[in-house]
Amino acid sequence: MKEKTGYFIVNQKVLPEVFIKVVEAKRLLELKKVQTVQEAVDKVGISRSSFYKYKDSVFPFFENSRGRTITISIQLEDKAGLLSHVLNVIASIGGNILTINQTIPVNKIANVTITMETDPMKDEIKELMDKVESIEGVLNLKILARE
C-alpha cells in the first residue's frame, strides 16, 4: 500500500533538536557560509547520516514559498506615509509587487492586501515578515495565500 504524504505545522520548541540542526545546516549551505555538507554538519553538531536522512523532509514553514507568489494581509494604523514605508521595505529586499488593495480606514485602521512575487527577493519570507512587522503602525500581518 502506498504511503500518504502529509504535512504538519509544528512549533519548533517541540521538535527534536536534530530537525532544527538539519534546517540550520541547509541554511548555511544555501547562503554559502560553508562549502560542503561535512562543514555544515560539523558547524551545527550533527552527523552526515542525520543530515541526509532528514534533509528532504524538514524545512522552515516559509521556505516552500520561495520563488512563487505570496499574498499578505496587513492591518495598518491610518498614518500618512505608512503604506509607502511598507512598500519601500518590500522593494528594498527585491519583492516584486503585483497587486495592492486597501480599504478605507475604519476606526483609524486600514486593511491592505498585497500580492508579490518572491523569486527575486534577496531575503527569505520570514525576514520580510519580521521587517514589515517591526514597522511602527503595522498592527497585524499574516500570509493569506502562496502559489
Residues of the chain with CATH 3.30.70.260: 65-146
For residue 108, give the 3-state DSSP assignment. Answer: coil
What whole-number distance in Å separates Cα of residue 113 and Cα of residue 59?
Answer: 26
Judge whether residue 64 has pLDDT over 60: no
Higher local confidence (pLDDT), 15 or 121: 15
Q: Which CATH architecture has domain 65-146?
A: 2-Layer Sandwich (3.30)
pLDDT 10s digits, 73-120 = 999 999 999 999 999 999 988 888 999 999 999 999 999 999 998 876
Q: What is the enclosing helix (H) or strand (E) of 42?
A: helix 37-44
Q: Comparing 1-5, 93-97, 127-131, 137-141, which segment has the lowest mean pLDDT?
A: 1-5
Closest among 144, 141, 125, 143 to 82, alpha carbons compared: 141
| Structure-model confidence comparison of residues 125 and 25, the more confident one | 25
The C-alpha atoms of residue 4 and residue 79 are separated, in whole angstroms, by 49
pTM (whole model) above 0.75: no
Q: How many CA atoms lie less than 13 Å away from 31 in the CB half-sphere?
A: 11
For residue 86, give the 3-state DSSP assignment.
helix
Residue 65 has pLDDT above 60, yes or no: no
Q: Give the whole-angstrom CA distance, residue 90 versus residue 132.
A: 8
